[in-house]
Amino acid sequence: MINSTQNPKVRHARQLLRYAKARRENQQWVMETQASIMALIQQEPDQLAYLLYQHLSPELTQCIVPYQDRCYQVSESVFKEIPSIKTSPGVIAVVHAKQWDMASLIKTPFKGLYLDGVSKPGNMGSIIRSAAAFGMDGVWVGEGCVDPFHPDSIRGMAGHCFQVPIIFESLSCIQSQFPKMQYYELDCQGSDVITQTKWHPQSLIVLGSEQGAFRNAIPSQAHHRVRIPIHASVDSLNIASSVSICLYEMSRDSQKA
């Protein structure tokens, strides 16, 4: 049993929970909910670096049997210093970030999402969860975005952390890799209504910052501005809600095709 907060595994987990730099440099992050950890072990066990626990449910005890060499019990006094949430289930998992090869994503049809300036972790997690729900082929995290592996983002994904590739690349890199890509920027002043949009076989929904400004140039011949029709008494939607509507419309169009 681990009885010291100075234990390297405990210290490492705390660093990952607190600092984006630590997550980025180590290419690791932390899961803090039992449902997410069970989904990880059942679906992506190779991504589990190690697990720290004060106590385990019967279900999770059974689930980790093949991976006990990566599981470490921690005393109550030490474990309470680790989680970022007030009410912890008594277990956390340190997870290897999945490495995605951008070249392997190049295909037709392709449906994806590019994010610019999404600054709130909860929104980021909800957006990635929606991308998984609607079968997106990739989510690009651009400049000005919060770390998608922030603890609040991970909780927002509700266990859907590996279903859709998360890629850190610029829009110019996407343009060079996907020369036929068409870009659909969500814009409240857009000329095309999202419910009537005709999606190209290679389509990328582009979301600007939560303040509405998009900082990257898109070639005019590949640029479509789309809007979500809402009641005149409401001036805007939450960015996560807007993304869900757009992704639903894109996936619905794909199903009709």
The pLDDT tens digits of the residues spanning 183-207 come to: 999 888 888 899 999 999 999 999 8
| Torsion angle of C-alpha atoms 23, 24, 28, 34, degrees rounded to 10 | 50
Q: Hey, where are the domains in the chain?
A: 8-96, 102-256
Cβ neighbours of 108 (radius 10 Å) = 9
Question: What CATH number has the domain spanning 8-96?
Answer: 3.30.1330.30
- What does the pLDDT read at residue 82? 94
Answer yes or no: is pLDDT of 1 > 60: yes
- What does the pLDDT read at residue 254? 66
- What does the pLDDT read at residue 214? 59
Grouping H, G, I as helix, E, B as strand and the rest as coil, residue 231 is: coil
Which helix (H) or strand (E) segment holds residue 215: the answer is none
Compute the mean pLDDT over every residue in the chain, rounded to the nearest whole number.
90
Tokens of 188: 């409240």
CA-nearest of 14, 10, 12 to 74 is 10
pLDDT digits (tens, 9 = 90+) for 95-135: 999 988 777 787 878 999 999 889 999 999 999 999 999 99
Residue pair 166/139 in contact (Cβ under 8 Å)? The answer is yes
Strand 28-31 and strand 91-96: pairing? antiparallel
- What does the pLDDT read at residue 222? 76
Answer yes or no: is pLDDT of 56 > 80: yes
Cβ neighbours of 255 (radius 10 Å) = 8
More confident residue, 118 or 257: 118
The proportion of the chain whose per-residue pLDDT surpasses 90, expressed as a percent, equals: 65
- What does the pLDDT read at residue 29? 97
Tokens of 231: 């009641």
Tokens of 72: 């470490």
Q: Assign 223 a pLDDT band (cuts: 50, 70, 90).
A: confident
Mean pLDDT of the region 226-233: 89
Superfamily of domain 102-256: SPOUT methyltransferase, trefoil knot domain (3.40.1280.10)
CA-nearest of 93, 146, 87 to 121 is 146
More confident residue, 209 or 198: 198
d(CA 235, CA 223): 24
Cβ neighbours of 146 (radius 10 Å) = 20
